[in-house]
Amino acid sequence: MHISPYLTENVVPAQLQVYIDNTVSVGTFVAVLDSDTDIKYHIVKVIDIGEQTTTLHYYATRSKNLREALWRPLYAQPHTNKVVMENPNTIYRNHTLYTGNIDTKPIDDSLIILPNVGMTERMRIDKRSRMILKNKRRYTHHRLGLTWTP
């Protein structure tokens, strides 16, 4: 009865409020499009950031529901054109990652729609990142074999 409403922006100083980190660094997960006109995104891990290009390791899911989606890394099967979700048993393990490149540009001009996607230990997108991706109503995730075949 004697409780006043809590207004975060008035009580918590601006430097302590939560903000979204838009910096992309090696080892982080990002949501990225194939082109400017695409409406489906991939989840990828940043392997290298160069002056001209950024190298990405693709992850995939078969799940329709983003909350239940389990993201697994993709690998190129040596001597074939197959892309698989299990690391091939070969001596060339370092060369089997299924990778791609995008131009290194500022985040506002890039194909990256969400930098620093939070992943859980079980390789699921965390709640905060899921909410941000769901609010981008224009975009949905690719599903291996259904909406995207490498």
Token pair, residue 23, equals 């910096």
Tell me if 131 sits within 8 A of 54, measured CB to CB: no
In the chain, the percentage of residues whose pLDDT exceeds 90 is 52
**pLDDT confidence band for 63 (50 / 70 / 90):** very high
What residues have CB less than 8 Å from 137, skipping those under 6 apart?
A: none
93, pLDDT greater than 80: no
- Structural domain contains residue 17: no
Whole-angstrom Cα distance, residue 118 to residue 126? 5
As a whole number, the mean pLDDT across the chain is 85
- Structural domain contains residue 27: yes
Mean pLDDT value of segment 66-89:
86
- Structural domain contains residue 150: no
What residues have CB less than 8 Å from 71, skipping those under 6 apart?
A: 43, 59, 60, 61, 119, 123, 124, 125
- Structural domain contains residue 8: no
pLDDT tens-digit series, residues 21-32: 678 889 999 999
**pLDDT confidence band for 56 (50 / 70 / 90):** very high
Tell me which residue range forms the domain holding 55.
Answer: 23-141
Whole-angstrom Cα distance, residue 67 to residue 127? 8
In the chain, the percentage of residues whose pLDDT exceeds 70 is 83
CA torsion 92-98-101-107 (nearest 10°) is: -130
68, pLDDT greater than 60: yes
Whole-angstrom Cα distance, residue 87 to residue 97? 8
Residue at token pair 């975009």: 139
Q: What domain count does the chain have?
A: 1
Give the residue with greater pLDDT, 150 vs 48. 48
Give the residue with greater pLDDT, 132 vs 149. 132
pLDDT tens-digit series, residues 100-143: 999 998 888 889 999 999 999 999 999 999 999 998 888 999 99
- Structural domain contains residue 16: no
Tell me if 98 sits within 8 A of 150, measured CB to CB: yes
Question: Does an H or E element contain 140, and which?
Answer: strand 140-141
- Structural domain contains residue 9: no
DSSP state of 108: G
Whole-angstrom Cα distance, residue 40 to residue 133? 11
